[in-house]
Amino acid sequence: MSIAQQLYQLQEVDLELAANQQHQARVSSQLGASQEIARVKAKLETGQQRLEELERQQHAVEWEIEDLTVKLKATEEKLFGGKIRNPKELTNLQREADELKARSAQMEDRVLEVMDQAEATTKSITELTGELSRLEAEWHDFQEKLLAELIELEAAHAKLSNDRQQLAAGIVPGTVAVYEQLRLRRGTAVARVEQGACRGCQITLPTTELQQVRGGGLVRCGSCGRILFLA
Q: Which amino acid is at 89?
A: E
pLDDT band at 220; cut points 50, 70, 90:
very high
pLDDT band at 196; cut points 50, 70, 90:
very high
pLDDT of residue 10: 97
pTM here?
Answer: 0.71
pLDDT of residue 173: 85
| Main-chain dihedrals φ then ψ at residue 101, nearest 5 degrees | -65, -45
Distance CA(50)–CA(45), nearest Å, equals 9
pLDDT of residue 2: 87
Residue 216 has pLDDT above 90, yes or no: no
Q: Which residues pair with 143 in a beta bridge?
A: none
198 within 8 A of 221, measured Cβ to Cβ: yes
- 13-17 long-range CB contacts below 8 Å, 24 or more apart? 13/160, 13/163, 13/164, 13/167, 14/164, 14/183, 15/188, 16/160, 17/157, 17/160, 17/161, 17/164
CA distances from 95 to 74, 131, 162 (A): 14, 54, 97
- 60-69 long-range CB contacts below 8 Å, 24 or more apart? 61/107, 61/110, 61/111, 61/114, 62/111, 64/107, 65/104, 65/107, 65/108, 65/111, 68/100, 68/103, 68/104, 68/107, 69/104
Tell me what the pLDDT averaged over the chain comes to: 95
Residue 82 has pLDDT above 90, yes or no: no
Query: If we measure between CA atoms, which residue out of 92, 93, 87, 95 comes closest to residue 74?
Result: 93
Q: What percent of the chain has pLDDT over 90?
A: 91
Query: If we measure between CA atoms, which residue out of 192, 189, 224, 193 comes closest to residue 210?
Result: 193
CB atoms closer than 10 angstroms to residue 190: 25
Residue 1 has pLDDT above 80, yes or no: no
pLDDT of residue 164: 96
Domains parsed from the chain with CATH numbers: 1-29+172-231 (1.10.287.1490), 31-161 (1.10.287)
Q: What is the pLDDT of residues 43-78, one digit of tens each?
A: 999 999 999 999 999 999 999 999 999 999 999 999
Q: What is the pLDDT of residues 131-172, one digit of tens each?
A: 999 999 999 999 999 999 999 999 999 999 999 999 999 998
